[in-house]
């Protein structure tokens, strides 16, 4: 896996990880949305999703005290249980996607999340078990396919929670479970190997650095700009990755 992975690629991956980790720590979401599309330009789809899942799970465990207990686990159970089902199904079909198809669908997912964040406003929809299950199932499918569980859950959280603090806590808690499900599913499918472990070790310092920086920015500036920062950054990523996928497909 690392045979053709040089120092220049590693530096690029570090830059991607730091940016995506800052976004995640500042908003409560966005790591996979920002990282996986960029990873897919530097490595295979399977390598991209495995690295994203491993980094997300590790940093979630390292920073547990910053979000754990701020949102009720009981209220998240319907979403979490259906996410597990969706992740298992999605991971099974991951190997069937070509690189260009993977990149195209990831780009569509990122832009979809941006559009949803533009039109949804906090606390406009009353939470319900059925809505939570639907968000969890679709999130799980996207987690298994792309290691990007965010869009459905981000829309659900932003639409149902009254404040950015509650939204961030819900998302951080959910993504901890989602990353755990993803890593177990990928391991069972044979996607995790020694090479992926080494790549994780080489890139986790960047993840930790970005997380610390993002959390300090969140504590200092609050939540005034978090939606705008997420939308602008992710929109740019989505456009870039979709454009590349379409160029490859038509070449």
| pLDDT tens string 141-160 | 877 776 676 677 877 877 77
Residue 126 lies in a domain: yes
User: By residue range, what is the domain housing residue 138?
Assistant: 7-250
Residue 2 lies in a domain: no
Query: With bands split at pLDDT 50, 70 and 90, how would you rate the model's confidence at 12?
Result: very high
Residue 149 lies in a domain: yes
- On whether the CB atoms of residues 213 and 22 are closer than 8 A, the answer is yes
Tell me the C-alpha distance between 29 and 171, whole Å.
6
Domains in the chain: how many in total?
Answer: 1
Residue 197 lies in a domain: yes
Residues 47-78 pLDDT 10s? 888 999 999 999 989 888 878 877 778 888 88
φ and ψ at 246, to 5 degrees? -70, -35
Percent of the chain whose pLDDT exceeds 70 = 78
How far lies 18's CA from each of 152, 211, 214, in Å? 24, 8, 9
Residue 177 lies in a domain: yes
Choose the weakest-confidence range: 20-24, 132-136, 151-155, 231-235: 231-235
Tell me the C-alpha distance between 18 and 138, whole Å.
27
The token duo for 19 is 């940016």
Residue 129: is its pLDDT beyond 80? yes
Give the pLDDT score at 202: 93
* DSSP code, position 71: S
Residue 125: is its pLDDT beyond 70? no
Residue 1 lies in a domain: no
At 93 the three-state DSSP class reads helix
Residue 86 lies in a domain: yes
Residue 123 lies in a domain: yes
Residues 6+ apart with CB under 8 A from 76: 132, 170, 173, 174, 177
Tell me the C-alpha distance between 155 and 137, whole Å.
14
Tell me the C-alpha distance between 20 and 33, whole Å.
8
Mean of pLDDT values over 178-186: 86
């Amino acid at each position: 896996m690392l045979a053709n992975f040089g120092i220049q690629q590693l530096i690029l991956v570090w830059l991607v990880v730091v940016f995506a980790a800052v976004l995640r720590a500042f908003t409560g979401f966005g790591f996979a949305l920002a990282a996986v599309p960029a990873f897919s330009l530097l490595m295979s789809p399977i390598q991209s999703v495995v690295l994203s899942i491993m980094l997300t799970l590790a940093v979630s465990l390292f920073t547990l005290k910053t979000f754990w207990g701020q949102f009720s686990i009981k209220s998240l159970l319907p979403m979490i249980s259906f996410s597990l089902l969706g992740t298992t199904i999605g991971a099974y079909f991951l190997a069937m996607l070509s690189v260009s198809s993977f990149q195209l669908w990831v780009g569509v997912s990122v832009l979809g999340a941006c559009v949803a964040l533009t039109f949804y406003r906090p606390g406009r929809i009353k939470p319900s078990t059925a809505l939570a299950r639907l968000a969890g199932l679709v999130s799980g499918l996207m987690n298994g396919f792309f290691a990007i569980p965010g869009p459905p859950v981000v829309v659900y959280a932003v639409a149902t929670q009254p404040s950015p603090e509650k939204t961030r806590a819900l998302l951080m808690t959910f993504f901890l479970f989602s990353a755990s499900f993803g890593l177990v599913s990928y391991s069972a499918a044979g996607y995790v190997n020694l090479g992926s472990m080494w790549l994780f070790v080489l890139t986790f310092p960047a993840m930790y650095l970005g997380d610390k920086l993002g959390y300090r920015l969140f504590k200092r500036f609050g939540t005034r700009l978090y939606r705008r920062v997420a939308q602008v950054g992710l929109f740019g990523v989505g456009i870039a990755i979709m454009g590349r996928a379409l160029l490859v497909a038509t070449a």
